[in-house]
Amino acid sequence: MGFFTHDIKTMDDLFVHTLRDIYYAENQITKALPTMISKASDAQLKAGFEKHLQETKGQIDRLEQVFKLHGVEIGGVACPAIDGIIAEADDVAGEVGDNAVLDAALIAAAQAVEHYEISRYGTLVAWAKQLGRNDCASLLLKNLDEEKATDAKLTTLAEGRLNRRAA
Ligand SMILES: [Fe+2]
Ligand SMILES: [Fe+2]
């Protein structure tokens, strides 16, 4: 599988590989979010997913700027981690009948996605700085901040009425 078969020799190679990983992940997330929007029954949750879908499209634009600034071709590389998180979300959501419980399952799945993204962007920001690419780091930091804000909003929703309703 991908990681060790790729020709990664330098920090720069590793940075570009990880950039391609998150670029692939963001594109998969834009495909998964419309399903989550249609399955969510709580209005705030639905609106939150819709907002994050728009943000995610902006994040993809920023990643494309990072590729350009760094002088490499725009493109993704398969990321089995995000595929697994999304597949598990589909499985769990498919099995839940009760609307409030389904919303709780969707929030949990979305937070797994956000945490994956936070981990990747945290690493990418640090590596961009290490490579002297503060221009790339500041764009990646914007994505990181949006993921953190989304995660925090999901926590607020989960700790509020959603989980109480489902209990
Ligand atoms: Fe994202
Ligand atoms: Fe996200």
Q: What is the pLDDT of residues 38-86, one digit of tens each?
A: 999 999 999 999 999 999 999 999 999 999 999 999 999 999 999 999 9
Give pLDDT tens digits for 25-38: 999 999 999 999 99
Secondary structure (H, E, C), the chain: CHHHHCCCCCHHHHHHHHHHHHHHHHHHHHHHHHHHHHHCCCHHHHHHHHHHHHHHHHHHHHHHHHHHHHCCCCCCCCCHHHHHHHHHHHHHHHHCCCHHHHHHHHHHHHHHHHHHHHHHHHHHHHHHHHCCCHHHHHHHHHHHHHHHHHHHHHHHHHHHHHHHHHC
Mean pLDDT for all residues in the chain: 93
Instruction: Give the integer Cα–Cα distance in Å for 148 and 114.
Output: 7
For residue 139, report the distance from its CA to the centre of ligand 2, in Å: 15
- Please answer whether residues 118 and 151 qualify as being in contact, where contact means their C-beta atoms are separated by less than 8 angstroms: yes
For residue 95, report the distance from its CA to the centre of ligand 1, in Å: 26
What's the pLDDT score for residue 163? 60
For residue 26, report the distance from its CA to the centre of ligand 1, in Å: 5
For residue 58, report the distance from its CA to the centre of ligand 1, in Å: 9
Q: For the residues 6-20, what does the mean pLDDT come to?
A: 92
What's the pLDDT score for residue 96? 86
Closest ligand to C-alpha of residue 59 is: 1
Closest ligand to C-alpha of residue 22 is: 1
Q: Which residues, by Cβ under 5 Å, contact ligand 2, an ion?
A: 117, 147
pTM metric for this prediction:
0.92
For residue 132, report the distance from its CA to the centre of ligand 1, in Å: 24
What's the pLDDT score for residue 1? 43
What's the pLDDT score for residue 143? 98
Looking up tokens 């979305």 gives: 110
Band of pLDDT at residue 15, cut at 50, 70 and 90:
very high
What's the pLDDT score for residue 92? 85
